[in-house]
Copies of this chain bind each other. A is one copy, B any other.
Amino acid sequence: MGFDRLIEAIEQKQNPTVAGLDPKLDFIPSFIKNASFAKYGNTLEGAADALLTFNKGLIDALYDVVPAVKPQCAYYELYGWPGVKALYDTIAYAKEKGLFVIIDGKRNDIGTTMEAYASAHLGTVAVENETFEPFGGDALTVNGYLGSDGILPLLDICKGRDKGIFVLVKTSNHSSGEFQDQQISDQTVYRTMGNMCEHWGEDSRGRYGYSAVGAVVGATYPAQLGELRTALPHTFFLVPGYGAQGGGAKDVAPAFDPNGRGAIVNSSRAIMCAYKKGGYAEAQFAEAARTEAVRMRDEIMAVIG
């Protein structure tokens, strides 16, 4: 219930970080791409094969260090349906390795359509007498602009299948304030959305006090992270913006509660592209990713204690 499974995986690995799997072709070592293109030609299938091979290498190197991975849907859709198949295969492989999988799709819609997204990413679908997990994620990022009609359809699946969602609250990007920092009565838009998360999560709190309705709060706004940690005591945070976007370990510290719980920090490019810095050969991409993931873990654990 709630984010208990994720929280326990974090404690077991002593690592509140998640590795983003956002595999642009530019990020992938040439030897992997060459092998995939030799097999499938310069096609979307070839690109998708390279994505999957890269991801498997990263997962093999990371699965005993990080508790979770976060594939970003956009980078798979970029390669059409073969890319989306690579997303499915990546998730299946990560789960085989015991990882918690956060699908970063920022999905949003209403009613039966939102139910379809919930079933697709976190649930199951029936085809006559057979049942399938279309993508099989453990959590999904969502956008709450449409109100309760866009969130409630997810909650039955979250409660019944021990899954969770992360609602965009205060995002890490430079322009997030244009809209999210505006004032609604006596509070900001992001705080309003945060309060809605607390409300939506009331019936799904787990044994650590956190509900199945988490929030996305960027590392690049540490003051707001602290404000929201205090204001939203039952809302678990997914914190993007660490590393490449400029957030550091001190910036993410306010996301955690006094028990060192309450958040998971994402790093994508810094881990995936670690081999491009600091004297690695391309063939060492996985080793470089692991070294960076360990460094990030140690840096964050040192700050949250």
Contact = CB atoms under 8 A, between A and B. Distances in A.
A110 B129 CA distance: 41
B173 A134 contact: no
A110 B173 contact: yes
Interface stretch (A7-15, A81-89, A254-262): A81-89
A230 interface: no
A150 interface: yes
Nearest to A167: B145
Range, interface on chain A: 35 or more
Contacts of A135: 77, 80
Identical subunits present: 2
A81 B78 contact: no
A301 interface: no
B176 A147 contact: yes
A109 interface: yes
Interface of A: 22, 24-25, 37, 42-44, 46-47, 72, 74-75, 77-81, 83-85, 87-88, 106-114, 116-117, 119-121, 125, 127-130, 132, 134-135, 143-150, 168, 171-180, 182-185, 189, 192-193, 196
22 contacts: A43-B130, A43-B132, A44-B127, A46-B127, A74-B109, A74-B117, A74-B120, A78-B117, A78-B120, A79-B120, A80-B88, A81-B84, A106-B107, A106-B109, A111-B173, A145-B180, A146-B171, A147-B178, A179-B192, A182-B184, A183-B185, A184-B189
Given A81-B88, A110-B171, A143-B143, 8 more contacts: A25-B127, A74-B113, A74-B114, A81-B85, A106-B143, A149-B173, A149-B174, A149-B175
